[in-house]
Amino acid sequence: MKYIDQIDIKGKTVLCRFDFNVSLDEDLHITDDRRIKTALPTINYALDEDARVILMAHLGRPGGKVVDSLSLRPVAKRLSRLLGKEVVMAKDCIGDDVKNLIRDMKPGCVLMLENLRFHTEETDNDDDFSRELAGYADVYVDDAFGNAHRSHASNVGITKFAKECCAGFLMKRELNYFSVTLEDPFRPFVAIIGGSKVSGKLEALENLIGKVDKMIIGGGMAFTFLKAMDFEVGKSLIEENLVDTARRCITIAKEKGVKMYFPVDCVIAEKADPKAVTKIVPIQEIDPGWMGLDIGPASISLFREALSDAKTIIWNGPMGVFEIDAFSMGTFSMVHTVAQSHALTIVGGGDTDVAVHRTGESDYITYISTGGGASLELLEGKKLPAVEALDRHDKKDDH
């Protein structure tokens, strides 16, 4: 797979797929533009090469219909400000109007196509849709890591018809950090796995057990493990059908010499409500009618000690329902511990990313992934469909 700086794009028309799936408020103002800013190195490189730059992305889940509130117009407006030049906004992503706009582009111009998911053909990975997109440009660039685990027309199907394909700088950074970390980490290597359910992280857990020296389990998923160890967990979130699987993970970790750490106390309440009465109890004393919603202070200390000698830390998933202040201390304390460590630290997108930025510690994390689902699939040891598509195209060119 080639990257954008390994091919000649001088004066060419370049079609770039980005992840601009940003959050908007009720007035359609962007509330977080980090995903837009991560695209700037690739866009600016193409502009420096006097390329005509066409941008495409999706926003939300319009289900193949035109939904005005999910238009990419706010993204084009924000990009215009960040780039210091006009980003022309197309009315659609396919059709004669788009072709006319592209035909009239001068070197150094930037055009934003409208939301790809206004067409069902995008998520259906439709060949005709892919072929039309590919026909817009001399070079296709995929820099949408956050969408790389999807097999859609704009990131997989398009590679069958594009003249030349490559990945952008964000994709390069993401893949390099995860591949180097998982293949040859500095040790001790510690994985922190949280979030609500074991089912969503099971494959990552099983893959990481064979690679890490220590594993810390927190969040709602910890209670399935605690149940597997015969603790009373009250009304805490558990997946009964995965209790035996959790027990097997513990056994495999023991056989491989991997140290597993679980909460020793937790913050409990009768329900996940900001006004709920809370108590901090050892895990042996969870009331039958209450539920665990965050790790407690003893668990925070235990996890901090487990991380004290780490040289590499990968973290995916919060320690509790951190969106509610009463259950946020565990996650935020973990952010501070990871940020203050002397390790190479990688945070795997999604809710964990939000927690890191809320604490203001993002500058002290080595790398924060832009793709929760994509980063999780890498932790599971899987290949990403969009990356495989670029690889196939490159191998086809070599022959």
Write the secondary structure of 28-80 as one string of H (helix), E (strand) and C (coil).
Answer: CCEEECHHHHCCHHHHHHHHHCCCEEEEECCCCCCCCCCCHHHCCHHHHHHHH
Catalytic residue among 12, 35, 201, 227: 35
- Asked about 350 being catalytic, the answer comes back as yes
Structure tokens at 202: 């099971």
Partner residues linked to 347 by β-bridges: 315, 368
Catalytic residue among 146, 218, 350, 371: 350
Residues 6+ apart with CB under 8 A from 42: 4, 16, 18, 141, 143, 168, 169, 170
Catalytic residue among 197, 235, 259, 392: 197
Among the listed residues 358, 268, 328, 263, the one whose alpha carbon sits nearest the alpha carbon of residue 301? 263
- Asked about 197 being catalytic, the answer comes back as yes
Catalytic residue among 60, 200, 373, 381: 373
% helix / strand / coil in the chain, to the nearest 5? 45, 15, 40
- Asked about 84 being catalytic, the answer comes back as no
- Asked about 35 being catalytic, the answer comes back as yes
The length of the chain is: 399
CB distance 296 to 330 below 8 Å: yes
Structure tokens at 118: 């206004």
Residues with a known catalytic role: 35, 197, 350, 373
